[in-house]
Structure formats: structure tokens, C-alpha cells
Amino acid sequence: MRKINPHDFKVARRGTSREINRQIALNLIRAHQPISRADLARLMNVRRGVASLLVSELLSESLIFEGAIGESVGRGRRPTFLYIDSRQRCVVGVDIRASRTYILVTDLLGRQLGAVSSFQTNRDVDVLIQELAHRIKQILSDYMEVGACEGVGVSVPGMVDPAKGRVVHAPTLGWRDVNLRDPLAVALGIPVQIENSGKACALAQVWATRSDVTGSGNSVFVSVSDGVGVGVVVNGEVLRGRHNTAGEFGHVPLSIDGPKCSCGATGCWEAYVSNLATLSRYFGRDLSEPRPRDSETATFSLEDLIARARAGDAKAVAVINSTARYLGLGLASIVNALDPARIYIGGEITTAWSLIEPIVRSALRERTLTEFGGATEIHVVPAEDHPRLRGAVALVAAPAFAAPMVA
Amino acid sequence: MRKINPHDFKVARRGTSREINRQIALNLIRAHQPISRADLARLMNVRRGVASLLVSELLSESLIFEGAIGESVGRGRRPTFLYIDSRQRCVVGVDIRASRTYILVTDLLGRQLGAVSSFQTNRDVDVLIQELAHRIKQILSDYMEVGACEGVGVSVPGMVDPAKGRVVHAPTLGWRDVNLRDPLAVALGIPVQIENSGKACALAQVWATRSDVTGSGNSVFVSVSDGVGVGVVVNGEVLRGRHNTAGEFGHVPLSIDGPKCSCGATGCWEAYVSNLATLSRYFGRDLSEPRPRDSETATFSLEDLIARARAGDAKAVAVINSTARYLGLGLASIVNALDPARIYIGGEITTAWSLIEPIVRSALRERTLTEFGGATEIHVVPAEDHPRLRGAVALVAAPAFAAPMVA
DNA sequence: TCTAATTAGTCTTAATAAAGAACAATATCG
DNA sequence: CGATATTGTTCTTTATTAAGACTAATTAGA
């Protein structure tokens, strides 16, 4: 039961019905391709005539194309299959992280077109934009004309205002109120969209083409790395909040008297489960201390710690187990607050999922109110899926498929 | 950018545009009544002819009626004013609480028709249903024929499945998987809707007619009493979650090593700020101890404590101040998680708002990530507004005004 | 008092949508 | 080969918005 906002509504015009059904048809083709007009009509529960009309409109806009004539199963005329048209079109996803920046080229459905490339992130925005523009142009020229690129999506670890195209605050990069979108768009001559990395990850799951991920109208993506980023999806839409800061579960406390967090507060979930927090526990360091420069601990990563745990290092096992417990306790807060249908979780710690899963699950059960809540589906998203990059791609590729705004 | 769910969508039919515009017109009349057809057309940005057609449809369904001829401001024909038709129609709201049960009769816009009545809650469901049915019938007969009642909405302190009409678990009432809706509907011969009290409070704000409350597409209602109930509103819709348990911020921890909570866990926000928690701190009792039966502490309420604080009792002041601080710290979790445009807060503690506001606000600032978040609007909803009762009423009165489901 | 201007509401016509039916082309099966 | 089933197109019917003409009511001002 949604209320119509009497100060901001959209009346239905002559073309509104058509627009709605057009988008439904497009989404069904996306989800079921290859598909015939007749099957489309059956799925939509409309007459074939209507489906034909919608299809011809989509064809004329080159959003879809007619492929080979299919084999007829029973008797009767053989169907002509329809496909989303991604020929000579591509999308670039960029994932800016504190240490490195990653680039991926995909088609309009987010299917990978080449290998992921990366380079060291230069924290000077202007330099980074120039380097990005240069590398993207080069990569695009390998695949097709640069003009065939529909746009570039960028995932940024920090607070982003996508409407204005600005990075409001990105602590790990030292950026504050930086215009990232427009200079990059000018340098490339292609539209650019930017988004917070947690929300980008959530987007990636919403718009994933694999059928087993779709249908999750309410879900949450938890990304554990240097910090903890969370993207919340409600009714198939990423929750943005009044000031673009929704989803900061990383700074919801486990214990307000807990360890100091990079945000200035104490006891944030992030201060217990981030990679830095886990490593600090292993080295018996305080999280607030500057990271020592000595050779061993400076380069020692969470993967190294997990390797030691697998090799039998008792202290490593204990540290990882406690991270797992804190992880579950924090997930419980998410379940209590939002009761999502599914939680996606990504980050280095998930490479140890087989070790930590029972601990995470039992901690989750410990603090959730109901049996159902404790049993909330948890899906691990491996790093190889590149959720941030795929979310960045969705920023550009998805709007063509989005539901029209109505009422 | 919302994704169309390819497994659950609604295609636009012939009547869909009309349905959308009809609901918009109805909502505008609700928001701006009295209003003329011509003004309606101007607000909707359609020709007067279209508005007239929509209006005549609404008239024929008796959803609205033509009232007096208005005064014309300049020259020209005088307008006929349109109003939501609530003549000979009413709605009953019921608020079941652990100690007492409250009843309120309103019109379709939630305008109070009589005084709030109440009686002691009998925890035996069957007995309570019979008593409720009896009292509602009696109250209705005072105003008009019982048949003119559109329905009864019930707010329940606990986990509710509105679709099935069942109370899944209500600890303070000792109910578990109780069918409340159907027996009451049978006993009354009127449709009944039930909802969790936190979500009901949020509903009340969403559907409030006062123009200064509307327009808050994203908001949160925090109700502090025996427990802490939270209702979350996203895009003008109450967030329900996969298992109807979304919004349980009361059991998000401040400190996992904190005081024992009634839910079995430790350190929940509720265990710091509920009325019981505050009183327990005052009496130096443990929250988990059974409440003593001795005359003084058994009947001593939060209002009494606030009165003592206002009278200068230093201990009372200290206890209330610490509750205020914990309140702000917990609100910070809500702001970090959801970044709502506005927070509504209700409960006995708000009678001391002038005392505690600065403390709540500074605690909120302390743990929010941004200046904006720390400045999130907080609106106190006084007990006299009866948010639970008004939310219960909205369960019945609002569906006629809800946005149609589309795409 | 009469006239012109202005507003409200109705009615007619055109454009565009879905709903439905009919039909041609094509394939399978007996 | 003929009956039957399926795909895709086309045409008619019905419903709805859009644009504008028209009528009625009302007021300001000559």
C-alpha cells in the first residue's frame, strides 16, 4: 500500500500504458532471450497483436533484434527469436579503490567482453581522470570504435551524489566534494555515471542476468574489505536515503565502548570485521595506531592470514573465528532492521567461508528475534564476480530497462 | 531506477491509465479539499474535461461528493467544491496494549469522531475478542448504524502477519500464532485489518491529512514504551520485510555486552531506553529481575520519574539524561542505516523532550557520519495524537487512496 | 443597465492504446 | 493429402487521453 505523493506525482498520459508494457516486454526479452513474439505474448498475458506491436517498436529503436528462425517444437510456423541488441555496443565499468583501479568492458547485459585490467590509483583526481580516460580509450579501441560505448559507470568507495556527479567524501582516497563525473565525461566524450561502491554492489545483484539471483526485491549486499560497505535494495530499487548515505551499517555499533573506528566513533561494526580490524587483532595492534612500516606487517594481507589459518596457525584461526562471530552479530542487526529476503556478502574474508560459515550463522541466530530471521539466506559473492565492476556497468546499462515512473 | 520483476509484474490494461489518474485525482481532492474540478485539472496538468470525467466516476462511486458552491475570487462562474465523502461512514481503530486496549472512531480521513475509550486488556484472546466486539458495537450505535462502519483496524504490540490476519508472536501479551482478524470480523460482521504497532505508527504519519506531515517519502517512526517499536517508510510505503519483521531496531545493540534484554540477547537498544530500562536504572535493579511486587516500585511510572526530575531529584535527572543519551546513540544507528528524511518519535519519554532534546541531538551527532545525518529532523508525536490508533484507522481507510500496482 | 471578460463545466472530435477476431504462412501428424 | 496446430500480421472494436468548441454563470467596468 503506497501513498501517492500529492506534491510529486506523474499522471498517466496517452503513451503511459504503452511505455509500461514496452518496458515489461523489454525486461521479459532480457530475462528469457531467445524468445518469440508468441511466447512473449503468453508471458505477458496479452494478445499476440499487442506483443507484435511492442516488439516492432523495440526493433525500430534497435533495443532488440530478430535472430535466427527457431526450431518449432510441435507443429506450426517456426518462431523468429528476439534478442537484446548488444551488437556494436558496450559499456565500461570502473572500480576505483584506495590502492588500485579496475576496468572492465561488457555488453549491455553485463556479459564480460575482455579481461579485467587495473592500475595503481593516483589520489590526485585530475591525474586519475586523465589516466582513466587514456586507458579506457585504449581498451575500447581494442574491441570496437569508442563511439559504440554507451557510457562509463564508476564505483567509488565513499559518499557519492550521483545526481550531481560528485564525490562528497571518500576518506580512503582523501577526496572531499570532488566533481568526478563531468571532467571524465568531457575527457572521454561519453556519458559517465558514478555511485558509491556498496550501492554499486547491490545494483549488480539487482540487475544480474543469472536467473537464480533475480527476483530478490528486498536484499542487502555486505562488502567487507578495508571498510564495510552495505547496499540495501527495497522493492527492486537501491535505497539512497535523504542525503545519499543510507546503508552505512558499517558504523552501526556492536559495542559503543568497543575499538576505535576510522570514522571517529568507537565500537562500529566495521572496527570489528574490516580486514584492517582483523589484521590488527592478529598483530595485537590498536586499530587507531598508524600502520607500521616494517616489512612484514605492512604487506601482510587478509589472504595471508587465511592461508596461515588453513595451515593450522592457532592464533590465525582464533582471530578469523572472532571476525566471523562479529560478522554474524552485525548481520543480525541488518536482519533485525530490514528483514531482507537475502544477504549477499563479498570481500576477502569470504575466501574462508567454509571455515567461518557455521560461526557466522550461529552468531546471526544468537541475536535475531525469530527462527526465520536467523535462517535468512546468505550468498557469498566471490571476488571473481567483480560485483563493484558489474554494479558500475549496471549504472549505465540498466536505466534502459528500468520501470517507468508512474503515479 | 527500479527493476521490473520478470516473475511478478502487472501489464497495463485498457483501464490502467484511468485507474492511475483516478487515484491521483482522489488523492489531490483528499489533500486539497475543498477543491473545484477546474483547480483539480490545473493541479494535474490535464484538460478540465479529463478532470470532470474522473470526478464523475468518483462521484458515482460515492468516494467524493459535491458540496456548496464556492465564492469566486475574481469574476466568472463560481466553482462547485468537491469533498471526500465520509458522510454516514466511519472507521474504528483499536490499539491493543499489554495493560489496556483503546478504541477510537474516525471518519475516512482519520478525523476523530468521538472520545478515545479504553478498557483493561484481557490476555485470553477469545475473551478479548468478545469484549472488543461488544464495545465496538456499542460505540458505533452511538454514532450511526453499525453497517456504516467501513472496517476495524487493530494495532498489536508484536509480530503480525497482516496477509493472514494472524499475530505470530506478541511476548507482552503471551500470544503465539493467534488468529485475531477472522474471529473479530465474524463477531462484528465488518472487515478487520491487523498490523504491528510500530508499523501502524509509521502508517499514521504516512497517511496523516495534515499537510505539514505529508511528503515524507522516507521516514521512520520510533515508539518508546515498554519496548521500542520502529516503523520504516520507504517511498511512501511501510517496509515489511520478508517475514514481516523489518524495523526491529529495538534489538540492534548499543553494546553486545550491555544489559540483558527481554528478547534473550544482551545490550539491545531497547534494554537501554525502554521505560522499563529507565525505571530499572533509577531503582538500581537488573532489567532481567522480575518486577518487584512492593507497592512503590510496582506502580511507579516513567511519568512519575519525569515529574521527579522536573522537581529537581538529581538521581531522576541523571537517569533520564542517560536514557536521552542512549536514545540519541540508537537514533544514530537508524540514521546511518536508512538516512531518513525525518524521524518521528513517540512514547512517554517525549513528555520530557524539552529537557532531553539537546542530549539526544548531541548523542546523535556523535555517532552519525555526516553533518546532514546529525541534523536529521526529529518530530515529537505527543500521546494525544494517538499514533497507534490513527495507524490502525489507516489500515482500513487508506487502501482506497493507495497507488495502483503497476509494472 | 448593458457589455466584455473570465471562469466552470460539458460536449464533440481526433489520436492512441488494448482487446479481440480473422487470416495467411508454415509446420506436423495421421 | 488433409486435418490441425502454431506463429505472426492485420483489421475492427472499444476505451481513454488530448484538444478545442461551446454553454452557463458570474463579475468588472463602461
Within the 35-54 window of chain A, which residues sit less than 8 Å (CB to CB) from chain B?
44-46
How many domains does chain A contain in total?
A: 3
CATH number, domain with residue A39: 1.10.10.10
Residues B372, B406 contacting (CB under 8 angstroms) = no
Q: Within a 13 Å sphere around the CA of B252, how many CA atoms are in the beta-carbon half? A: 34
Q: Is position A3 within any domain?
A: no
Instruction: Check residue B71 and give its pLDDT.
Output: 65
Q: Does A293 contact chain B (CB < 8 Å)?
A: no
Instruction: Check residue B266 and give its pLDDT.
Output: 92
Q: Residues of A with CB below 8 A from B159's CB?
A: 369-370
CA distance A190 to chain B (A): 21
Task: Please report the number of interchain residue pairs, chain A to chain B, with beta-carbon separation below 8 angstroms.
Answer: 269
Confidence of residue B126 (pLDDT cuts 50, 70, 90): very high
Whether residues B178 and B244 share a domain: the answer is no
Q: Is position A10 within any domain?
A: no
3-state secondary structure of A270: helix
Whether residues B163 and B275 share a domain: the answer is no
Do the chains contact at B336 and A252, CB–CB below 8 Å? yes
Q: Does A59 contact chain B (CB < 8 Å)?
A: no
Q: Return the closest-CA partner of residue B190 out of B155, B147, B161.
A: B147
3-state secondary structure of A82: strand
Residue of A369, A378, A401 to mutate when probing chain B, most B C-beta within 10 A: A369
Select the residue of B11, B333, B402 nearest A24 (Cβ to Cβ).
B11
- The string of pLDDT tens digits covering residues B134-186 is 999 988 887 766 558 899 999 999 999 999 999 999 888 889 999 999 999 99
Distances (CA, A) of B33 to B70, B81, B83, B109, B300: 12, 8, 6, 11, 46
Q: Is position A406 within any domain?
A: no
CA→C1' distance for B32 and C8 (Å)? 18
Confidence of residue B212 (pLDDT cuts 50, 70, 90): low
Q: Return the closest-CA partner of residue A202 out of A222, A231, A223.
A: A231
Q: Is position A337 within any domain?
A: yes
Select the residue of A206, A398, A407 nearest B403 (Cβ to Cβ).
A407
Do the chains contact at A169 and B16, CB–CB below 8 Å? no
3-state secondary structure of B106: strand
The one-letter amino acid at B316: A
Say how many Å lie between the first and final Cα of chain B, rounded: 13
Distance CA B329, CA B363 (A): 5
Distance CA B337, CA A232 (A): 9
Do the chains contact at A336 and B16, CB–CB below 8 Å? no
Whether residues A245 and A335 share a domain: the answer is yes
Distance CA B268, CA B228 (A): 10
Do the chains contact at B2 and A249, CB–CB below 8 Å? no
Cell numbers 483493561 correspond to what residue?
B120
Whether residues A278 and A144 share a domain: the answer is no
Percent of chain B surpassing pLDDT 90: 57
Q: Which nucleotides of D are covered by protein (CB under 7 A)?
A: 3-11, 14-21, 24-28
Protein residues in reach of strand C (CB < 7 A): A 14-15, 17-18, 21, 46-50, 53-54, 69, 72, 74-78; B 11-14, 36-39, 47-49, 52, 55-56, 72, 74-80
| C-alpha cell belonging to residue A196 | 558509491
**Closest chain B residue to A259, measured at CA:** B255
Whether residues A320 and A232 share a domain: the answer is yes
Whether residue A34 has a cis bond before it, omega within 30° of 0: yes
Last residue of a domain, one of B64, B84, B104: B84
Q: Is position A29 within any domain?
A: yes
Confidence of residue B233 (pLDDT cuts 50, 70, 90): very high
> B380 has which bridge partners?
B345
| C-alpha cell belonging to residue B74 | 475574481
The pair phi, psi for residue B322, each rounded to 5°, is -70, -35
Confidence of residue B293 (pLDDT cuts 50, 70, 90): low
> DSSP letter at A360?
H
The pTM score is 0.92
What is the mean predicted confidence (pLDDT) over B117-143?
Answer: 91
Query: Which residues, other chains included, contact B95 with Cβ-Cβ below 8 Å and sequence gap of 6+?
Result: B101, B102, B103, B104, B154, B155, B197, B200, B386, B388, B389, B392
Do the chains contact at B241 and A20, CB–CB below 8 Å? no
Q: Is position B9 within any domain?
A: no
Confidence of residue B209 (pLDDT cuts 50, 70, 90): confident
CATH number, domain with residue A199: 3.30.420.40
Instruction: Check residue A285 and give its pLDDT.
Output: 74
Q: Does A372 contact chain B (CB < 8 Å)?
A: yes
Confidence of residue B289 (pLDDT cuts 50, 70, 90): low
Do the chains contact at A2 and B402, CB–CB below 8 Å? yes
Residue with more model confidence, B199 or B88: B199
Last residue of a domain, one of B34, B49, B84: B84
Residues A167, A177 contacting (CB under 8 angstroms) = yes
Instruction: Check residue A10 and give its pLDDT.
Output: 87
The one-letter amino acid at A67: G
> B103 has which bridge partners?
B94, B117
- Domain extent for B287: 208-383
CA distance B203 to chain A (A): 10
Whether residues B238 and B312 share a domain: the answer is yes
Q: DSSP for A179-231?
A: E-HHHHHHHHTS-EEEEEHHHHHHHHHHT--STTTTT-SSEEEEEESSSEEEE
- The string of pLDDT tens digits covering residues B234-248 is 999 999 999 999 999
Whether residues B215 and B333 share a domain: the answer is yes
Angle of the A16-32 helix axis to the B16-32 helix axis, nearest 10? 120
CA distance A184 to chain B (A): 23
3-state secondary structure of A377: strand
Instruction: Check residue A151 and give its pLDDT.
Output: 94
Whether residues B224 and B262 share a domain: the answer is yes
Strand runs labelled E in A243-382 = 342-347, 377-380
The one-letter amino acid at A300: F
CA→C1' distance for A75 and C30 (Å)? 13
Tens digits of pLDDT across chain A (407 residues):
999 988 888 888 888 888 999 999 999 999 988 899 999 999 999 989 999 999 998 998 889 998 877 676 667 788 889 999 988 889 999 999 988 999 999 999 989 988 999 999 999 999 999 999 999 999 988 876 655 889 999 999 999 999 999 999 998 899 999 999 999 999 999 999 999 999 999 999 999 877 555 555 899 999 998 889 999 999 999 999 999 999 999 999 999 999 988 888 999 999 999 999 999 999 887 765 555 556 566 778 899 999 999 998 999 999 999 999 999 999 999 999 999 999 999 999 999 999 999 999 999 999 999 999 999 999 999 999 999 999 999 999 999 999 998 88
Residue of A1, A234, A254 to mutate when probing chain B, most B C-beta within 10 A: A1
CA→C1' distance for B15 and C13 (Å)? 21
Residue with more model confidence, A70 or B255: B255
Whether residues A79 and A94 share a domain: the answer is no
Instruction: Check residue A154 and give its pLDDT.
Output: 97
Residues B142, B115 contacting (CB under 8 angstroms) = no
Instruction: Check residue A216 and give its pLDDT.
Output: 58
Q: Return the closest-CA partner of residue A79 out of A90, A89, A66.
A: A66
The torsion region of residue A39 among left (phi > 0), alpha (psi -120 to 50) and beta comes to alpha
Whether residues A367 and A297 share a domain: the answer is yes
Say how many Å lie between the first and final Cα of chain A, rounded: 13
Q: Is position A303 within any domain?
A: yes
The pair phi, psi for residue B254, each rounded to 5°, is -90, -45
> B214 has which bridge partners?
none
pLDDT above 90 (res B267): yes
Last residue of a domain, one of A84, A113, A143: A84
Whether residues B46 and B95 share a domain: the answer is no
Whether residues B71 and B107 share a domain: the answer is no
Do the chains contact at A406 and B401, CB–CB below 8 Å? no
Residue with more model confidence, B360 or A9: B360
Nucleic strand D within 7 A of Cβ B216: no
Q: Residues of B with CB below 8 A from A232's CB?
A: 337
Q: Is position A4 within any domain?
A: no
Within the 185-204 window of chain B, which residues sit less than 8 Å (CB to CB) from chain A?
none
3-state secondary structure of B391: helix
Give the range among A63-72, A234-243, B82-91, B283-292 with minimum mean pLDDT: B283-292
Q: Does B5 contact chain A (CB < 8 Å)?
A: yes
Of all nucleotides, the one whose C1′ comes closest to residue B21's CA is: D17
Do the chains contact at A236 and B2, CB–CB below 8 Å? yes
